[in-house]
Amino acid sequence: DTAVSQTPKYLVTQMGNDKSIKCEQNLGHDTMYWYKQDSKKFLKIMFSYNNKELIINETVPNRFSPKSPDKAHLNLHINSLELGDSAVYFCASSHWDRLNTEAFFGQGTRLTVV
């Protein structure tokens, strides 16, 4: 059983298009995240949701809109895609726990904008 699953794994699209990436976790966690990994492997948080409520929004362009229909899902919709959006996007989840912020990551979605 995959703990954190993302779809699609690869996404190639043209500039200006709108696309979505889906994420689901079956770990019973109450907090989910989106991270972006650039071409140099650097990872940076984009958003986090706790119990479907937005907690962290790290100065991400408003073309990116996360949506959390329930605690087990956090989808990422991107409007008007730009070349600079090409990256690997990782979904993650964790418990909202003061002593342990260990996160479990999905396999990533490699987005290529052409």
Give 83 or 98: the residue with its C-beta nearer to another protein: 98
Nearest by Cα to 6 from 94, 102, 82, 74: 74
Closest approach of Cβ 46 to another protein, in Å? 10
Query: Is the Cα torsion angle 6, 102, 73, 28 positive or negative in sign?
Result: positive
Q: Is 34 in the site for another protein (CB under 8 A)?
A: no
Q: Which of 12, 15, 27, 43 binds another protein (CB under 8 A)?
A: 43
Contacting positions for another protein (CB under 8 A): 4, 31, 33, 35, 40-45, 48, 50, 55-56, 90, 92, 94, 96, 98-108
